[in-house]
């Protein structure tokens, strides 16, 4: 890192980034040399704005990279300043970082100038193997099943008729006819006083309904549920 700091031309940031702060009033802005170093370190080590200044205080190599001559024990800037700097610099200002990185690589003879005569860019797009947490995984699987079902329905769209139902409409649900029939039957019989007897009565009634196709068809004669047939 010490060697890399000597290869980068920091004066470029001092001159180019000074244009983003033309005003001479108010509190002086932080040194462009410091901000450039912090942005390099943040990108390299994947630090958050909040952790970046504190890590810089603890690491002497980071301090040297940011241009310090003597070891510093105080925060160089508040973490919120990084956001404001990026807003001021914009895309044009931040582009100076990769540009100077390439030039530093050339000075250090890491790459040759002829390497930039032809550049091959791979734009292959591959789905990432994202391991979702348990809850998110269930939602993702549900989404995949819905997409698969939607594609299947789209392939047979000419055979499907769409009915729009209200959010709450028990009269549109044919199962409500069966529930009403069951309640009426249970109310007309001798009251049962145990769960076992109630269960036995319900099973007996449902068996009778199952064995009577005409009774089942009657549930669908209402105009509100005729679409289910």
Q: How many CA atoms lie within 13 A of 3 on its CB side?
A: 5
- Kindly report the number of other CB atoms within 10 A of residue 161's CB atom: 5
Q: Can you give the pLDDT at residue 82?
A: 87
Q: What is residue 219's DSSP assignment?
A: T
Q: Can you give the pLDDT at residue 135?
A: 65
Q: Can you give the pLDDT at residue 165?
A: 64
Helix locations, the chain, DSSP H: 2-7, 11-17, 32-45, 51-58, 60-65, 80-94, 96-107, 134-155, 174-188, 195-210, 213-218
Distance of CA 162 to the CA centre of its chain: 33
Extract the tokens encoding 134: 């348990």
CA dihedral 186, 192, 194, 200 (to 10 degrees): -50
Per-residue pLDDT of the chain (229 residues), as tens digits, is 888 889 898 888 888 887 766 556 555 567 888 888 899 898 888 888 888 888 888 888 888 988 888 888 888 888 888 888 888 888 888 888 888 888 888 888 888 777 777 777 777 766 666 665 566 777 778 888 888 888 888 888 888 777 676 666 777 777 788 888 888 888 887 677 788 888 888 888 889 988 988 888 887 777 777 766 6
């Amino acid at each position: 890192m010490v060697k890399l700091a000597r290869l980068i031309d920091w004066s470029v940031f001092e001159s180019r980034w000074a244009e983003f702060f033309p005003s001479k009033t108010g509190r002086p802005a932080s040194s462009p040399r410091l901000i450039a170093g912090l942005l390099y370190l943040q990108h390299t080590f994947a630090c958050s704005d909040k952790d970046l200044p504190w890590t810089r205080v603890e690491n002497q190599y980071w301090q040297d990279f940011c241009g310090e001559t003597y070891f510093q024990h105080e925060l160089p800037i508040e973490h919120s300043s990084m956001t404001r700097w990026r807003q001021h610099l914009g895309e044009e200002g931040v582009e100076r970082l990769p540009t100077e990185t390439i030039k530093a690589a050339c000075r250090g003879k890491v790459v040759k100038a002829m390497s930039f005569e032809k550049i091959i860019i791979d734009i292959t797009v591959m789905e990432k193997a994202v391991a979702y947490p348990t809850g998110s995984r269930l939602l993702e699987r549900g989404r995949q099943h819905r997409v698969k079902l939607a594609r299947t329905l789209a392939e047979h769209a000419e055979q499907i008729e769409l009915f729009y139902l209200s959010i709450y409409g028990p009269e549109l649900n044919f199962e409500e006819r069966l529930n009403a029939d069951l309640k009426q039957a249970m109310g007309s019989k001798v009251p049962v006083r145990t769960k076992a007897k109630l269960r036995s009565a319900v099973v007996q009634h449902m068996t009778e309904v199952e064995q009577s196709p005409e009774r089942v068809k009657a549930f669908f004669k209402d105009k509100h549920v005729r679409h289910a047939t």
